[in-house]
């Protein structure tokens, strides 16, 4: 607030950010995403301002191609060499994850147990998990998927390489489902920690204002 040049630069950045209109249905996933995006604080729709958005191509090969995806391809190859694999969880997750439900999720806050991360934002959300070669849980993702828009509700990992692998697994599934945009829940992109900002940039996310 004491730096007029900084305020000017911030204002210019906010004005110049692209705007992306999201097409949401009236089905439960579309309503869930809309409910996340609609709230305002002092008239500002904070969940739609300067958000991280990944615009998906029509094929996975198109997403992975090009010089800008070199880091992604390298990390996916290393994760594959480590034996990391991903799976979608259908039905009741407790049937598959009993050994971990009463433990803190690896690499995260000691007070947060896996069962808390597995809670769905609504009944149509999808869940994916990543495991090490010897079957140890390393990452989980919870995603709300509407017809053309998906929202990454949760992406928690205890492994840098598992994070790359799990995100790619989710992206491939969304492309197959013909989703056009993936938004990352968790605050505006300008206030994320530098490591997360860098990760999202390498994955192809851009910062944009969202319209619904």
8 A C-beta contact, residue 41 and residue 166: no
21-65 pLDDT, tens digit per residue, is 999 999 999 999 999 999 988 888 989 999 999 999 999 999 999
87 in a structural domain: yes
Host domain of residue 42: 19-211
Q: Is residue 12 part of a domain?
A: no
Question: Which pTM was predicted?
Answer: 0.86
pLDDT for 124-174, tens place per residue? Answer: 788 898 999 988 888 889 899 999 999 999 888 888 899 999 999 999 999
159 backbone dihedrals φ, ψ, rounded to 5° = -145, 130
Q: What is the CATH number of the domain that holds 72?
A: 3.40.630.30
Does residue 11 sit within a domain? no
Beta-bridge partner residues of 183: 53, 151
Asked whether residue 127 is domain-assigned, the answer is: yes
Residue 3, domain member (yes or no): no
């Amino acid at each position: 607030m004491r730096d007029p040049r900084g305020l000017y630069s911030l204002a210019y950045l906010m004005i110049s950010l692209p705007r992306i209109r999201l097409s949401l249905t009236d089905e439960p996933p579309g309503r869930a995403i809309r409910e996340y995006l609609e709230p305002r604080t002092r008239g500002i729709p904070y969940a739609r301002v300067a958000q991280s958005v990944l615009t998906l191509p029509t094929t996975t090969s198109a997403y992975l191609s090009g010089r800008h995806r070199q880091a992604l391809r390298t990390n996916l190859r290393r994760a594959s060499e480590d034996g990391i694999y991903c799976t979608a969880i259908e039905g009741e997750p407790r049937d598959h994850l009993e050994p971990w439900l009463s433990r803190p999720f690896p690499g995260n806050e000691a007070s947060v147990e896996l069962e808390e991360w597995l809670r769905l934002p609504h009944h149509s959300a999808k869940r994916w998990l990543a495991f090490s070669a010897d079957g140890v849980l390393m990452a989980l993702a919870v995603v709300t998927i509407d017809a053309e828009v998906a929202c990454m509700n949760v992406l928690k990992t205890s492994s840098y390489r598992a994070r790359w692998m799990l995100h790619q697994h989710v992206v491939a599934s969304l492309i197959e489902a013909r989703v056009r945009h993936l938004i990352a829940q968790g605050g505006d992109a300008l206030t994320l920690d530098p490591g997360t900002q860098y990760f999202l940039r390498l994955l192809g996310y851009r910062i944009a204002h969202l319209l619904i």
